[in-house]
Amino acid sequence: MRRMILVTAAGLLLVGAGVAFAHGFGDKAVVQTSATFEATSTSNLRTATCTGADGTYAKSHATYGGSMTSSEPSLSGTARIDASSFVNTTTGVGVVWGEVRVDTADGKDTKIHFEAVLTHGSVVGMAEGRTRPGHDKVELLANLSADYSATDGFKNGKVGGGTAAGDAVLVTSGGCHTPKPPKPPKPEQVKALGAITAVSSTSISVAGVMCDVPAELQSAVAKLKVGDVVHIECTVANATNTLKHTSGPGKKK
């Protein structure tokens, strides 16, 4: 069974990431991890600019080639980042978003979507992703940081493992779980079919079986008399038989 990865950090809040958290206990354990990445081979760069009242804006899109390195196999391999940015070049503040594809050694490629804030060449943000569908699917929720420019791509990238990126943990198989409480045993039952040999508001006897009559069945038992042929079912607890159900009557032949 492959692992589900959960990466957390201080100071960042992910809203609506679309990753399902595991609530409560289960067959999971938590292990710390991290990854680094570089993607500086730039291709297909497209940039457009415009000027507003608060400065000049640049919108860019490009593909960046590189690699991601980690002791976690699903975060290690050749990396390709398709990224877009929208930046106020006058203030140096903007946003960067896109998708990272990590071609792992086992062929179960990991795709990571991210959104980050850009401040004077540094991006800090959140990422979520997963391997391609399968029984050993890996899911990722991560804090991400890097140095970035539209022309040069991503340098000094981190997934966890640093002050800016925060820590990273794996949620893996193992751990502990809360055992389910045992099901209560089913009550013992006794059944009898035959003629009533004794009956009152509090007890009934059929074919040698005597059962107490609970209050909710007393009106039904009041209609019966000695000699009627009936079928009774009684529960057994603490050596006491208690009537649960009766059907009939028929006349004794």
| Tens of pLDDT, residues 173-218 | 556 666 778 887 778 889 999 999 999 989 999 989 999 999 999 9
CB atoms inside a 10 Å sphere around CB 35: 26
For residue 5, give both structure tokens. Answer: 């990865």
Q: Are 225 and 237 in contact (CB under 8 A)?
A: no
Q: What number of other Cβ atoms are within 10 A of residue 105's Cβ?
A: 10
Reported as a single tens digit per residue, the pLDDT across 8-52 is: 333 344 444 444 445 455 566 566 778 999 999 999 999 999 998
How would you class 182 by CB atoms within 10 Å of its CB: exposed for 0-12, middle for 13-18, buried for 19 or more? exposed
Give the contacts of 223 (CB within 8 A, at least 6 positions apart): 249
* 24's tokens: 């409560």
Domains of the chain (ranges, CATH numbers): 4-176 (no CATH), 188-251 (2.40.50.320)
Q: Per residue in 56-68, pLDDT tens?
A: 999 999 999 999 9
Inter-residue contact 51 to 201 (CB < 8 Å): no
Contact by Cβ (8 Å): 22, 30: no
Please state the φ and ψ torsions of residue 222, each to the nearest 5 degrees. Answer: -60, -20
For 122-141, b/e burial (b = at least 16 CB within 10 A) is ebbbbbbbbbeeeeeebbbb
What number is the average pLDDT over the span 91-111? 91
Using a cut of 0.85, tell me whether the model's pTM lies above it. no
Dihedral sign computed on CA atoms, order 130, 131, 137, 142:
negative
Mean pLDDT confidence for 118-127: 92
Angle, CA 8 vertex, CA 71 and CA 2 arms, to 5°? 45
Alpha carbon distances (Å) from 73 to 10, 105, 138, 160: 25, 8, 11, 15
Query: How far is it, in rounded angstroms, from Cα 64 to Cα 42?
Result: 5
Could you tell me how far CA 160 lies from the centroid of its own chain? 22
Mean pLDDT of the chain: 81
Radius of gyration of the chain (CA): 36
CB atoms within 10 A of CB 171: 20
Residue 14 gets which letter from DSSP?
A: -
